[in-house]
Structure 1
């Protein structure tokens, strides 16, 4: 969908008449039937006048095509400005322009991420050059018209209010700046020259119309690249039941029908290979020529898989294949052939900043002909997590979707020990099992007397970069604003550490040197290491012969229990049970990240003694 499509001459006429923003608003309302938000109208008002200052240069072809608000596939990704014509070779060409009203920008240590003032204050967001570049990658990878007509795409970004570009053009963003040049407030002449190099003559918007009318289908090059990256990669080889589930999905994919929805619900605990199956399915479905995506609410698995699957794809192409769960608001029904949803237990109701969407399960099923949900209900770790068998069944009925079920029973994590997970469930008071004792030698579980010794042992175990520290989110993220401050302090042991959240983001678990940092549930769920060190915070304790949760011990900066205090006034019993389950599930998840070993320290002395007793087979849950 394109809101506004005219030639350069007509666009400049609307600009000179100072009604370009009104023109766009009228067309938006006519096309969508919705009102335009005040902030969006102001953005058009401010940005499009500045665009006019660039396009008025005489060197730019008069019949250049000008499109405003081109939606790629769905409303989650829209190109602010798309210009079209023919390049020096006479081939159809288009320039993608990302418009920003930012005045100041600060660099960050996160790849392709900057910090600027958005909404109520400074916030981390995507670098505009990366954003424009990724939109180009999406069109090249999934728009049939771009491939068939060999349309040359050139991305760029225009920050028309920004005078000081020292932050946005920092050397760490050089690779993205080379792929998508960035222009500031006083760079109008330079931007006009760039457009002239890309677009030698106008086409009255014909190329834009071809892009608009192109169908969504993965290019052969993209599908081949993903398949090549998986071949020979031992981390993604299918075993036993994984292969069975994989083949069942392919069988369902061969029976896709327009106007019908099909859902496969796959249940499996930690280490059953849900993510391995999901990534393999993405590759095979793309190879079948289907419009497929890997979907996960958690950024950490998406970013780690992107790092592991090295090959010929760009970062933007990876990000278009591995997307978040909030991308499907307003998506046309059955637009995608298949959506592979990993970590489905983490799906939510509202999406972006609690403003858009109704229910992610509903929206995902609506957007796809075939949806595969990989689910472990015991890994719901926030009040917002709604993923459950019942919730998926409800929306299947709503969409009249054909529902299939399967299970991944085999345990590949924790040294293949189903007994350890059962012992852990009973130890944490999650459910009664027959595993009162942990079989000696089945799994390396240890209880450390102090956090200093635990962290030092994790350092020593990290020779292969396969050991990390994690903790319950019971300490505020102080170092976010004061980089030299310590986040986690545990007296009287003198232990001090920082959360991993600041520098390396979701790929901290793979980076060299991050063994000094401590991860949390939000940055390790869905991932695994050989050895995990877990600090059990004061939100879990042992009183009167029972493991108990202490919700008030969670950090203020943690959003997992957001709404707990308000909920207590309305439904005290239900809200306490919900918070209790979240805290226990959090530690179950943290303590099952290690494939070979889990070493722990508990801040509560009584819980520490209880765990030691459980290890020795002396204590039972009351």
Structure 2
């Protein structure tokens, strides 16, 4: 694996004063509550790129160092796990574990794997650190061998301390449908506290552009910042192939530059290639990545189109985003989400506790908007946009 992804969340990275103080607060929370019956939960809220994962990496390294080397600390000898429900990000954490003396690859697990091992009596958990907790399943998923009703509830039944990071704007699938209010309702009966990170670390963009992305993905349209006062490279393209060529050039210059897209194009998990075609532009979707290297760091993926499932949680230097057929602008310049054009069938799988048709439509639309938010915030140095919908494309170009 190249070091690009590892370096972004290494426990050797320097922290800001705020981040250092938060790590100390989290350690104190764990030390206090490990001596009680539990569970006690600490939630870190924050948008994409606000440094949540690097805080967790530092915390877990210190936690395991205490557990494995300190003779008298309350955390001495505790059995602790770091969980993430995202196979690409898990690869990065396990790579980090191989570089630190007190972190083991087995410390890093998918939630379902740990839950099932605990249920079989093979493991127990004292402290759990959960990255991307908005990806935890909130309903049974037999395909993934989870037979409970909620992964967080299952984990709370076993651990003494749980520390999670959570961003409701990164909820992407019905089976992991969460909101902050749903999370807080679940935690109401246990000792819990929270902290919110707000400073944007990933994107070298102005606050105005970050605000524009957040507004766009809540269907509040206003002009793109004409210039955002930074070196951030923001462009809107009328031709997807020209955007691809520009991204290829950026990739030659600085690396880690990729094309990504929303759903809305042929896509089936059948092992075959499925293509996105926009005029002269013609590239296949990302293929399942069987290697230990994250998708974006594989050289050949410059000739593929990434999705939320390969890019969520990762930094790219430049991202070229295709806004697919479901994202349109009506004649009154209102952003519309055409659910009938959405091709990611996994995202909208039915769940028994959500039955109100109007509410379901709203939730599905927000899941699509969340996917746009995730993809728009991948680029550290630049964001290039191509919209399938001609009216939307024209609107973005006129106001750029």
TM range (shorter): 0.7 to 0.9
> Which residue is 2:256 aligned to?
466
- Give a deviation string over 1:14-49, Cα, whole Å, max 9, x none: xxxxxxxxxxxxxxxxxxxxxxxxxxxxxxxxxxxx
CA root-mean-square deviation? 3.0
Map 1:558-569 to 2 at 5 A: 558-563=345-350
More relative contact order in 1 or in 2 (CA 8 Å, sep 6+)? 2
Matching residue within 159, 165, 172 for 1:381? 172
**Is the CA contact (8 Å cut-off) linking 2:209 and 2:228 kept in structure 1?**
no
- Give a deviation string over 1:427-447, Cα, whole Å, max 9, x none: 3444589x8735433332111
> Which residue is 1:363 aligned to?
154
Aligned partners of 2:208, 2:164: CA distance in 1, in Å?
Answer: 26
> Which residue is 1:202 aligned to?
none
Could you tell which deviates more after superposition, 408-417 or 523-532? 408-417
Aligned partners of 1:309, 1:459: CA distance in 2, in Å?
Answer: 32
Matching residue within 360, 367, 384 for 1:582? 367
Question: CA 1:584–1:478 in 2, change beyond 3 Å: closer, same or farther?
Answer: closer
Unaligned runs of 5+ in 1: 1-228, 616-622
> Which residue is 2:74 aligned to?
none
Q: CA deviation at 1:477?
A: 3.3
Counterpart check, 1:353 vs 2:149: no
Question: CA 1:394–1:428 in 2, change beyond 3 Å: closer, same or farther?
Answer: closer
Aligned partners of 1:563, 1:352: CA distance in 2, in Å?
Answer: 13
Unaligned runs of 5+ in 2: 1-5, 68-77
Q: CA deviation at 1:387?
A: 3.2
Greater C-alpha Rg: 1
Q: CA deviation at 1:487?
A: 2.0
Aligned length: 373
Aligned partners of 2:302, 2:289: CA distance in 1, in Å?
Answer: 13
> Which residue is 1:275 aligned to?
53
Question: CA 1:312–1:486 in 2, change beyond 3 Å: closer, same or farther?
Answer: same
Matching residue within 263, 270, 282 for 1:496? 282
**Is the CA contact (8 Å cut-off) linking 1:375 and 1:387 kept in structure 2?**
no
Matching residue within 402, 409, 423 for 2:212? 423
Question: CA 1:317–1:330 in 2, change beyond 3 Å: closer, same or farther?
Answer: closer
Matching residue within 4, 15, 20 for 1:238? 15
Counterpart check, 1:508 vs 2:287: no
Aligned partners of 1:513, 1:448: CA distance in 2, in Å?
Answer: 24
- Give a deviation string over 1:252-295, Cα, whole Å, max 9, x none: 12211242221111111111111111112221111111322221
- Give a deviation string over 1:570-604, Cα, whole Å, max 9, x none: 53311111111111111011000111111011111
Secondary structure of the corresponding residue to residue 530 of structure 1: strand
- Give a deviation string over 1:548-576, Cα, whole Å, max 9, x none: 00112122x54112239x999x5331111
Question: CA 1:575–1:495 in 2, change beyond 3 Å: closer, same or farther?
Answer: same
Question: CA 1:285–1:503 in 2, change beyond 3 Å: closer, same or farther?
Answer: closer
* TM-score (normalised: structure 1): 0.55
Aligned partners of 1:235, 1:447: CA distance in 2, in Å?
Answer: 37
